[in-house]
Structure 1
Amino acid sequence: MFKSHIPMLLSLKHRFLFVHIAKTGGTSVRATLARYRYRGLWGAPMFIANKLDQMSGHRIGAKFPRHAKAIAAREMLPATLYDELFKFVFVRNPWDLQVSSFFHIRKERPQVLAGVTTFEQFIRLKFDPERPWNYLLDTSRERQRDYVVDLRGQQIVDFIGHYESLQADFDTVCDRIGLPRTPLPHRRKAQGRDDFRRYYNDETARLVEAHYREDIEMFGYRFDG
């Protein structure tokens, strides 16, 4: 189900901002922290603004989208407030992310695959240089790096967790924002998939490496782990 109406997860009472990159375990993080969003003095106005935005068909721009980048929040929030927030994000191995994306789209939005039945076809379509509009196929075509840096390429979030150590890194987040450690639920977990490396051949692995080179360099990922 497409959930563009769900806003970026911001808590003014607990002073945190979650930058949600698609397919990185963020749905589980949101499910655990959503209860804190509307607490405190500004909770009611935030709730009302969100509902008004939904009722207007998102015409009044009263919220940050679910998968907004950190730079959007920094541009819109007062500088002192943005600096005070604990801003965190989770990233994922780009090769693994593509497999997750393929299974998700095949289950949730099969109509957009337009006859694509194999993972190799999916990768070729997604990164076809003659079809730059293919970012519409899946938001994971965007570089994860772009979610955490400003226009000069400087990191503007405080903590980068990893999908591969999701619970341990989430525990660190909870410690930093002063909330109890909580086991993350398993949300939207793909069924019937194997280790991501088994879906690639040399060419498709290179296509992913070329597209996500900046992510691979910034977050230290490799194809073999």
Structure 2
Amino acid sequence: MRPEDYRTQPDDRFKLTDEARRAVRAMAQSGDRAGWVSPLRYNLSVSHGHRFVWFRVAKVASRTIRHHFTTHDVTLDVDHAMRVRYPTDLFADYFRFAFVRDPLARFVSAWQDKVVNANYYRFDDADHARMQRIEEFASWVAGQDLAAVPGTDQHLALQSRLIDLNHVDFVGRLETFATDFAEVCERIGAPAGPAEARNQTGSGGASGRQVSDELRGLVATMYRRDYQIFGY
């Protein structure tokens, strides 16, 4: 398999081509050699022309980054692949990056977008009304295994689980997006990026009303691994 054979379908940017899926499956089954295929699944975007792998973390500037790439002729051969394994050795010389965000701000953003502004999780009317209190939503999320991908919704999953930490070259932060994304663009040979990410929740992602001690405690427990790994 060549790196260029790993791509998504022309008419479905979420799914790998049949040929790519078969090749990855064959590599995974081919023997004991370590490092051929990632043991875990990730949400990926890949450009063969600019030679990068982007581990997408939901609610962390994904729309901004993708919009910048698509408007500046950065072809995404793997556009928006969801929960896929990938051949790690083939991309050893690609620039592999991701972006992360303060877990509390990310959680509040997910709640605002997916619960307050919509009913993404398809709660019944009574539960949806109850989930308008963010602490209730956090208690519901706390009952899930946030390291399970697939399994947990991507907007709630641990950021540290959405990134192949053994094969990542650069982890930028939303809080320093302008500087960090400028470095990504320089590394991949793309035009400089926007000064800030779009669709951010203001004031660090959480208003005073939303951030109670109860919420802080729940988020700190649920996302302890993210806090430890990324130093928030």
What TM-score, normalized by structure 1, do the two folds share? Answer: 0.68
Q: 1:36 and 2:74 equivalent?
A: yes
Q: Which consecutive residues of structure 1, in runs of 5 or more, have no partner in the other structure?
A: 39-45, 51-62
Mapping 1:88-167, distance limit 5 Å: 88-105=97-114, 106-109=116-119, 112-113=122-123, 114-115=128-129, 116-128=131-143, 138-149=153-164, 155-167=166-178
User: Match for residue 204 of structure 1?
Assistant: 215
Distance 1:137 1:214 in 2: 16
What TM-score, normalized by structure 2, do the two folds share? Answer: 0.66
Is contact 2:56–2:99 with CA below 8 Å preserved after alignment?
yes
Q: 1:85 and 2:102 equivalent?
A: no
RMSD over aligned Cα atoms: 3.1
Q: 1:217 and 2:228 equivalent?
A: yes
Identity of aligned residues (%): 25
Q: 1:73 and 2:86 equivalent?
A: yes
Return the letter of the residue paired with 2:132.
T
In 2 relative to 1, CA 176–136 (structure 1 residues): closer, same or farther, beyond 3 Å? same
- Bigger relative contact order, structure 1 or 2, given CA contacts below 8 A and separation 6+? 1
Return the letter of the residue paired with 2:106.
L
Distance 2:62 2:144 in 1: 29
Structure with bigger strand share is 2
- Cα deviation for residue 111 of structure 1 reads 6.2
Distance 1:186 1:156 in 2: 25
- Cα deviation for residue 188 of structure 1 reads 3.7
Distance 1:168 1:139 in 2: 26
Return the letter of the residue paired with 2:95.
F
Distance 1:29 1:170 in 2: 8
SS at match of 1:31: helix
- Cα deviation for residue 204 of structure 1 reads 2.1
Return the letter of the residue paired with 2:220.
E
Q: Write out per-residue CA displacement over residues 153-202 of structure 1, whole angstroms, 9 at most, x where no aligned residue.
A: x53111000011112100010111122213267544458x7852621222
Q: Write out per-residue CA displacement over residues 14-63 of structure 1, whole angstroms, 9 at most, x where no aligned residue.
A: 1011111000111100111133125xxxxxxx58xx8xxxxxxxxxxxx8
Paired residues in the alignment total 181
SS at match of 2:117: helix
Return the letter of the residue paired with 1:87.
R
Q: Which consecutive residues of structure 2, in runs of 5 or more, have no partner in the other structure?
A: 1-11, 15-43
SS at match of 2:122: helix
Distance 1:195 1:64 in 2: 27
Distance 1:175 1:33 in 2: 13
